Amino acid sequence: MSRLGKLPITAPKGVDVTLDGQTVRAKGPKGQLEVTLVDKVRVAQEDGEIVVKPADESKEARAMWGLSRSLVANIVHGVAEGFEKDLELVGVGYRAQMRGKDLVMQLGYSHEVVYTPPEGITITAGKPTEIKVAGADKQVVGQVAAEIRSWRPPEPYKGKGVRYAGEYILRKEGKKK
C-alpha cells in the first residue's frame, strides 16, 4: 500500500482541475499544466478532491500509484503557488546579473556565461551572489537550476562554485607539506 498514494489531492481556490481519461489538466493563477498518467492507475474526482488508485493489484500498478499522485499534486501546487529554487555563487569574482531576460554570470572563465531561460521560467538576481529560479512546473524549475549549477559546480577544497541555497559541500583537506 502506498501511504502517499492514499492521500487525496485538494485543489485550492482559484484552481480548476479537469480530467480527460488519463490526462489531468490544472489551470490557475500561475498558468496551465497537464500530465498524462500511465494506464496502471485510475484517477477520479470525488467530492471536490482528486483521488488516484491503482488499476489492479500488480506490482507495477502499486509502483506507479504514489508517483502518479505526486505528479498530479505537483501540477496543482504549481499552478496555484509555483515552485522556486535558490542558488548561491561562492567565490572571488563570481557574480550574476540580469540583462533583459538573460542571466549573465561571471564564473571565473575568460568569458561571461549567458543563460536564456525557457518559456514559463523567471530568473531573478537580487544580489550579485544570489539567483532565484521560479516557475509553475517543478521539473522545469529543477532542470533550469541544475543547468545553471552545472556551469561551475562546487568544488570540495574551497567550496567555490554555484550551489543550491543551504547545500552542504563535503570539504576535503588540502595537500600537506
pLDDT tens readout for residues 140-162: 999 999 999 999 999 999 999 99
User: Is 111 strand, coil or helix?
Assistant: coil
Task: Note whether 160 and 122 are same-domain residues.
Answer: yes
What is the crossing angle of helices 138-150 and 59-80, to 10°?
80
Establish if 171 belongs to a structural domain. no
Residue 176 has pLDDT above 90, yes or no: no
Burial, 106: exposed, middle or buried (Cβ in 10 Å; 0-12, 13-18, 19+)?
middle
Residue 12 has pLDDT above 80, yes or no: yes
Regarding predicted confidence, which is higher, 5 or 80?
A: 80
The answer to whether the Cα torsion of 49, 54, 59, 63 is positive or negative is: negative
Domain check: are 69 and 99 in the same one?
no
Mind listing the pLDDT tens digit for each residue in 27-76? 999 999 999 999 999 999 988 899 999 999 899 998 899 999 999 999 99
Mean pLDDT of the chain: 92
Instruction: State the total domains in the chain.
Output: 2
Residue 117 lies in a domain: yes
